[in-house]
Every structure is written in C-alpha cells, then in structure tokens.
Structure 1
Amino acid sequence: MAIFDSVLFRRVKNSVGNVTTYVLNNQNVVRAKCGHHRDRKSLLQLKQRVRMKAIQEVCYFFYPALQVGFCCSSLKEGVNRFVKANVMKIGVDDELKVTFDWLDMAVSEGPLGQPALSAELDAEANSVLFCWERQALMPYAFDSDLLYGVVSEVGEMLGIVIPLGTRGVAGRLTWGLPDGWDIRQVVVHGFARNVAGSRTSGSLGLVAGKGV
C-alpha cells in the first residue's frame, strides 16, 4: 500500500488491473488487490493427490522394515523410497475410490535374487510359519545372504522385521503374533539382504489374513 499527495491523482477513485486507488482520510491511497486463486484441479491431479495420501497411510504399517529393506540410513529416506516404489500401485477410480493389494506393496528393493521363501498363517496357534529352501548359487544369490520376514497387522499395529536364516541353509521358523494382533489383518512379506547390508532383493508378498 502507498499513500501519496499528487495534483494529477487527487480524488482519484478507480481500479486498473490489479491496482486500486481511493481516498482515505483525505489522502490518496494506492494498493494492490487481494489475489483470489481458485484451486481448479483436473481429475488426473485429484487422483494423484488421493493416491499420495493413500500411500503415506499404507507406508505407516511398514516403518520398521524400511531402513532394512531399502538399505538406507534414515527412516525419512526409507519412506521416500517406499513411496516411489509403490505409489503407482494405488488404484483410484473416477469417483476417487482407492483400491490396492497389500501383498503387492514392496517393502524392499534391490538387485539380489528373491529368496525361495513362503509363509502360512495359523489362526489356532495365532502364529506365522516361515519356510525357506536352500537356493543354488547364482550371481545375485549367495549362501550367506540373510533372509527376513516382515509381519504387519494393518489394522492398527506397526510391522515387525524377523531375521529368519540364510539363503544357503533350508529352514523353518514359527513366530507367534504379539498380544492384541488380529490375525485376520496380518500381512506377511519377505526379502533377502547381503551380509554387508548394502543390497537387498525385491520384496515377496507371502500371505495375508482373510480380513485384508
């Protein structure tokens, strides 16, 4: 806002473009008009906005696995890499309704070969049974690679990362669910990681409860 005294502009009351002139307390005043911007978003933009919100909510349940699965030093970087890897897996229709598959979410990403790993949910024992086979050596699969399971209760609870064994030795492990977990809301993933902790495999979606 500017206040001035000019013979030429005395008593001027008008608007030009985004500038308004008027008289206040016998003084000439010039000020810019308040901007008014309407947030006109296309359907594609609205879908992407909904998609980003949804993937941030999904990401929450995998927080404990992200630094391990994406080989990074901070949770923030892990979240960013999770979002990048999974955001386009979120489906959004023209009514902005969201659909996705929990088992399709990637909790790890890297060049190593995926492990020969499976899992089953045991409702009676309230547990997860992991089984893995010894894999033949190949350029991106080594006997010393560590295997991990990621068990998440996607109703309310954060996931837990479970060390299982190594790629070079077959094995089984039964893991009991913590108190308060609903096995119908459980989702299980797995991946491999080298001993140095610098490379991982792609993520495996292993099993999901009936309520997911």
Structure 2
Amino acid sequence: MGLLPTGILGEINGSVGPVVTYLLNGQNVIRAKGKGSTKAPSLAQLANRQQLKVLTVFLKRATIFLKKGFGHLALGTKHNYHNLAVSANKSTAVMGEYPDQYIDYEKLILSKGEIAQASNPAVERVENGLKFTWECPPSLEFRFHTDQVMMLAYSPKLDQSVCIDSGAKRRAEQDVLPLGPGMLKEQLEVYIGFVADDRLQAANSSYLGSLSPD
C-alpha cells in the first residue's frame, strides 16, 4: 500500500502496483519491485553476495565514522553514506576467493573528501585507551585548523569498535580514544580521519595499523 502524506500531487511512500517509492535524502525515489528467481545462483553471484556480507559486517561497526566520512558526498544525490562506503570498498578491500573472502583492513576507506588528510598520524596505547597524534603544519591553510579528528579502533576478535567522530581540533595535534578493559587487551585495527567544522567536507581516512595486545 502506498501513502500520500501531502496529497495526490505530493510525495508517495510505499508500494503502488509494480513499483515501490520512498524518500531518500529528501528526494522521492521510485523503483520496480524485485522479482524472485528460481535459478540456482552462479559462482559469481555467490562471490558477490559473500563480498557484501563480509564488508557489511565491518561497516556496521563503523557507522558513526562513515556517516561523517561519506554523508557529505550523498547530499543532493540518490545515494546514502552506506551505499557510497560499500562502493568505495567492495572491489578493493575484500580479498580472497569464494568461499574464503576476507577484509584487508589496510585497504579500507572510511571517509573520502577534499580537506587535508592527517599529516604524519600515529597512535599508541595509553593507560585508558589509544593516544592519537598528528601534525598541523604552519603551512597548512588556516581553514583546516578547526577540522575535528575522527578516531576508530576495531577488534576483529570481539567484532566491536569504539569511535569518536567529533574529537579534538586539528590544531590540537592529539586526542585520546577511551577504551574499556576488554578492548584494551585485544588486537585492534585503527583509523583516523578529519571532518570539517561545518560537516560539509571530510578528509580521506588513514589506516594506522594493527596494534597487538600488550
């Protein structure tokens, strides 16, 4: 059943005959209803499905980062941050052959944009979390000085992540990502990025490596 919340000439939400309509980024989108297939999936189809499944498992744990990292690119389009993140990573960050495909954490892209990428970023374990450092060179345009850091640590073993998407200003050159005792003793995949003060731009994310447990 389709709904007409603003009258017959307005937006339609739901199913109408052979099509489905819905709102995406403020736009009314229409698509044909999917048709089921009785054919057995091909090897390529199975591989594609596994690629998406493997990638989605991780992306669900990085939602906070991805919203700021790709959300600005979705504005005014028929895409959303998740679609763009999948597109950016599906062909480059998933390795191996079906049925043994896996994530290459070093190749993951968690944000894309035109503002300055982290300069000489580094990370180290501290008592209550991870200390991130970077540089804000005097030569860097002043408009980038107020960008805010985004930090993420992911534990493959626990399938858990901790993220801050609005951390210290770039000019502070450091920040700490607090972690609980459980995360602190696990191997962690670590990422850093920056989001503009107005949230309309982001920097390409950087992979800071895999930190082994103490």
- Fold conserved between structures, TM > 0.5: yes
Is 1:91–2:92 an aligned residue pair?
A: no
Q: 1:176 to 1:104 in 2, by over 3 A?
A: same
Q: 1:40 to 1:131 in 2, by over 3 A?
A: closer
Q: CA deviation at 1:117?
A: 4.8
Match of residue 51 from structure 1: 51
Is 1:177–2:179 an aligned residue pair?
A: yes
Q: CA deviation at 1:101?
A: 1.8
Q: 1:183 to 1:208 in 2, by over 3 A?
A: farther
Is 1:115–2:126 an aligned residue pair?
A: no
Match of residue 38 from structure 1: 39
Give the unaligned 5+ runs of structure 1: 1-35
Q: CA deviation at 1:126?
A: 5.0
| Cα pair 1:116 1:134 within 8 Å, conserved | yes
Query: One-letter code of the match for 1:77?
Result: N
Aligned positions of 1:8-87 closer than 5 A: 37-41=38-42, 43-72=43-72, 77-87=80-90
Match of residue 209 from structure 2: 207
Query: One-letter code of the match for 1:70?
Result: F
- CA offsets per residue over residues 29-51 of structure 1, 9 Å max, x none? xxxxxxx933141x333221211
User: Once superposed, what is the RMSD of the aligned Cα atoms?
Assistant: 2.9
Query: One-letter code of the match for 1:206?
Result: L
What is the TM-score normalised by the length of structure 2? 0.67
Q: 1:121 to 1:162 in 2, by over 3 A?
A: farther
Match of residue 8 from structure 1: none
Give the unaligned 5+ runs of structure 2: 1-36
| Cα pair 2:152 2:161 within 8 Å, conserved | no
What is the TM-score normalised by the length of structure 1? 0.67
- CA offsets per residue over residues 20-78 of structure 1, 9 Å max, x none? xxxxxxxxxxxxxxxx933141x33322121111111111211222212223599x922
- CA offsets per residue over residues 109-151 of structure 1, 9 Å max, x none? 11222121523232x7352111111132259x72222222222
Distance, in Å, in 2 between the alignment partners of 1:164 and 1:64 is 12
Q: CA deviation at 1:196?
A: 1.0
Match of residue 135 from structure 2: 133
Distance, in Å, in 2 between the alignment partners of 1:125 and 1:159 is 16
- CA offsets per residue over residues 142-198 of structure 1, 9 Å max, x none? 22222222223332324311544333x252333331242254332221112211110
Query: One-letter code of the match for 1:151?
Result: A
Percent of aligned pairs with the same residue? Answer: 19
Distance, in Å, in 1 between the alignment partners of 2:206 and 2:66 is 14
Q: Secondary structure of 1:52's partner?
A: helix
Query: One-letter code of the match for 2:59?
Result: C
Query: Which entry has the higher C-alpha Rg, 1 or 2?
Result: 1
Aligned length: 170
Q: Secondary structure of 1:118's partner?
A: strand
Q: Secondary structure of 1:38's partner?
A: coil
Distance, in Å, in 2 between the alignment partners of 1:112 and 1:197 is 11
